[in-house]
Amino acid sequence: MIFLILLALLIPVMIGFNSISVIWRDRPSIRMLLVMKSCLAVGLGFGISSCISFVSLVVFGELAPGSIIETALLIVLMITLVYTFKGRNDSPDLASYGYNVPVAPSKTPWSLAIGFWTALVLALVTALFLALKSPHGIGWDAWTIWNLRARFLFRGGAHWTDAAAIFWVKPDYPLLIPATIAQAWTYLGNDTVIIPVLVAMLFTFATVGLTVSSLSIFRSKSQGYLGGLILLGTPFFIKHGMSQYADVPLGFFFLATMVLFTLHERARKATPGLLTLTGMAAGFSAWIKNEGLLFLVAAIASHGAVIIALKGWKTYLRQMLSFALGLLPVLIIIAYFKITLAPSNDLLSGQDFQGTLGRLTDLSRYWVVFKAFVRGSFYFGEWYHLIGIPPILGVYLLGVGVKTNAEDRLPTLYALLVLSLTLTGYFLVYVATPHDLLWHLRYSLDRLLLQLWPSFIFTYLLIVGRPDPVSLPTEHA
Amino acid sequence: MDLSFIGNDEVTLHEKRFASVRDLLPPYGVIGYIDDNSGQTVARFKEYFLTQYTVAPVVLADPNFSGTDSEFLMREDVLIISNVHHSTPDSRIFTDRHVTLLKDFGNGLQLYRSERR
């Protein structure tokens, strides 16, 4: 049984890994950046799997053909991969992306490494405990929305859309998580709770892995460990990651979008495949939760603003073509879902011109939301009765200062712009909400901040100085 | 180490309580749901959704919540799950509707079928 469970999840992850390797094809080695690619494979694989499941449900009215399509796709990808990389020198080579500047011997990386691995073990034990304590998820949304919809997809057959008849089930929410779970259940032939638990766990720890591996490449190993430590030292991140809600998986795709874009900008030769993967990751963020649509708009706008300003229209159009290649298939699926199956979102259907205008011109609402954002950020992380993590990061920034690599200026600007636009979007959604404002803030703000948390840590550590004593030659204060 | 918490979370316990009911339900469709929780309380909301989660893909129609046709439970030939917490079933079931008891599961759960008045 355990073997079958692992296989049910390994198939989509392998599809993700092979897709990354095939799309990002001009690499000398499959093994190169293995940890980063494996972490990306979790999210992209689940994203691809959920799209196949959705198409299978729409076309055939059941999930079984999805399993056949997935297996066939995996075989095709593996053959393509073998063909593509046949005869190539299989040595991991980082030189074409970053730089390997020797760091003077220091105890800092070791202490950080020990701290990180200890925190990782503790987080895994905590995650296991939480999974055993609440296998159906922590909090109502796990079983009133996400797992309930997965059950409808798996158990309902041709009646999978009946879930829309239930109030509160949020039938307008996209299907990445429920379809991923339901497809894995289809491989197994039963709806064991282990699958949603493992999906939650994989997304949570893949986010940690992606943070550590990307920062290790772009800055230094110690900066990578520091990023991992900050994430693992955020109790709310681990607890909510295991809650089986969609906020941590959404945060994964936000981070994946930024990491892939940064990787593209750091490459010394053109790698359009990386932009295709960036588009795919951004698209999946909109296929997991409605907030992802806002992020997608922010990502496209930021990409345009940064590239046009710094590299010109020609480069932008060329880049956008590669980006769209990854985004469009996902966008078509989202559009089909939204147009034919999803009712109007409660935040949109509750709007009318007079009401919305009244709320948007009411300055007191801006003040209420602003206060909530400041307070939420200050105490973010669930360090109960203590100061939150962001203020500590602020103090750390004052201590080590701003030190960016010249090569990271553009991606850092992009990441800052995406974060700012998304945060501004969230802010305005609260101001315009037709729901009771305080109720809405109380029950969702911490989760929205959590969605941005991994991307924030990534961007923050691209900007601040490194904890190890040696600075790179290209670092500028 | 005390591991007695495993398998004793509220969702698992609710699913165990409803396991025998689920076996008698159709594979899909809409059935009625009534309980003896009073008002629009969190407890009622929670039990309704725990039951909905358990019996999915069957849809539970509860007139207490929006989105459900209030006349649904008055129709003929509708299965109705009664979820009560007292030793005797809620008398409203018999006074407001014409129903036949299909099975009393003995743990506060009964399955009824509505009939022609």
| Interface residue A168 vs chain B (CB under 8 A) | yes
Which residues of chain A neighbour B30 with C-beta distances below 8 Å?
165
Closest CA to A51 of A7, A16, A10: A16
Which helix (H) or strand (E) element contains residue B83? strand B79-83
In the predicted model, what is the mean pLDDT of residues B87-115? Answer: 77
Residue A331's pLDDT is 97
- DSSP category for residue A465: P
A185 and chain B in contact, CB less than 8 A: no
A147 touches chain B (CB under 8 A): yes
The phi, psi pair for A126, rounded to 5°, reads: -60, -45
d(C-alpha A427, C-alpha A448), whole Å: 10
- Structural domain boundaries enclosing B57: 10-114
Q: Would you call A147 and B57 a contact, using CB atoms and an 8 Å cutoff?
A: no
Contacts of residue B65 in chain A, CB cutoff 8 Å? 167-168
State how far the Cα of A129 lies from the Cα of A421, in Å rounded to an integer: 37
- Residue A160 touches chain B, beta carbons under 8 Å: yes
Asked if B53's CB is within 8 angstroms of A148's CB, the reply is yes
Q: What integer pLDDT is reported at residue A353 of this predicted model?
A: 80
Which residues are bridge partners to B30 per DSSP?
Answer: B59
Please compute the mean of the pLDDT values over residues B85-92 and round it to a whole number: 64
Residues of B in contact with A143 (CB under 8 A): 11, 49-50, 53
Residue B20 belongs to some domain of the structure:
yes
CB contact under 8 A, B11 and A134: yes
Q: Is residue B2 one of the residues assigned to a domain?
A: no
Residues of chain B with C-beta less than 8 angstroms from the C-beta of A135: 9, 11-12
Q: How confident is the model at residue A93, as a pLDDT?
A: 52
Interface test with B, best of A132, A136, A161, A169 (most B CBs within 10 A): A136
Two tokens, residue B111: 């399955």
Structure tokens at A221: 């190993």
**B6 close to A (CB below 8 A):** yes
Q: Is the pLDDT of residue B91 over 80?
A: no
- Exposed / middle / buried, residue A96 (Cβ in 10 Å: 0-12, 13-18, 19+): middle
* Phi/psi-derived region of residue A86, left when phi > 0, alpha when psi is between -120 and 50, beta in every other case: beta
Residue count (chain B)? 117
**Binary contact (A167, B57; C-beta < 8 A):** no
- The C-alpha of A152 sits at a distance from chain B's nearest C-alpha, in angstroms, of 5
pTM assigned to the model: 0.92
pLDDT on residue B66: 60
Write the residue in B3, B49, B68 that is nearest to A144 by C-beta.
B49
Cα gap B103→B113, rounded to integer Å: 10
B47 domain residue, yes or no: yes
Residue B39 lies in a domain: yes
Please judge whether B11 and A156 are an interchain contact, meaning their C-beta atoms are less than 8 angstroms apart. no
**pLDDT at res. B57:** 92
* B6/A135 Cα distance (integer angstroms): 9
Q: Which of residues 88-117 of B touch A (CB under 8 A)?
A: none
A162 in contact with B, Cβ within 8 Å: yes
Sorted by where each begins, the domain ranges of chain A are: 2-78+115-476
CB atoms A151 and B56 under 8 Å: yes
Give the model's pLDDT for residue A281. 98
Task: Note whether A147 contacts B53, CB cutoff 8 Å.
Answer: yes
Residue of A nearest to B60 (CA): A166
- Closest to A145 (Cα-Cα) out of A56, A245, A229: A245
Number of separate domains in chain B: 1
DSSP-assigned letters across all residues of A197-246: HHHHHHHHHHHHHHHHHHHHHHT-HHHHHHHHHHHHT-HHHHHHHTTT-S
Kindly determine whether residue A156 and residue B52, on different chains, have CB atoms separated by under 8 Å.
no
Q: pLDDT tens digits, chain A, 477 residues: what are they? A: 888 999 999 999 999 999 999 998 766 677 778 899 999 999 999 999 999 999 999 999 999 999 999 999 999 999 988 887 776 665 555 555 554 444 455 556 788 999 999 999 999 999 999 999 999 999 899 999 999 999 999 999 888 888 877 766 778 899 999 999 999 999 999 999 999 999 999 999 999 999 999 999 898 889 999 999 999 999 999 999 999 999 999 999 999 999 999 999 988 777 899 999 999 999 999 999 999 999 999 999 999 999 999 999 999 999 999 999 999 999 999 999 999 988 777 777 777 788 888 889 889 999 999 999 999 998 888 876 677 888 889 999 998 888 887 788 899 999 999 999 999 999 999 999 988 999 999 999 999 999 999 999 999 999 998 777 654 444 444
B79-83 and B109-114 as β-strands: parallel, antiparallel, unpaired?
antiparallel
The verdict on residue B1 lying in a domain is no
At A122 the pLDDT is 97
Q: How many CB atoms lie within 10 A of CB A431?
A: 19
| Cβ–Cβ gap A156/B57 under 8 Å | yes
> Is the backbone of residue A282 left (phi > 0), alpha (psi -120 to 50) or beta?
alpha
User: Which band of pLDDT confidence, cut at 50, 70 and 90, is reported for residue B87?
Assistant: low
Subunit contact A140:B6, Cβ cutoff 8 A: no
- CB-based contact A252:A237 (threshold 8 Å): no
Q: Does A196 touch chain B (CB under 8 A)?
A: no
3-class SS letters over A112-165: HHHHHHHHHHHHHHHHHHHHHHCCCCCCHHHHHHHHHHHHHHHHHHHHHHHHHH
Answer whether B46 touches A (CB < 8 Å): yes
Give one DSSP letter per residue of A72-108, joined into a string: HHHHHHHHHHHHHHTTS------TTTS--PPPPP-HH
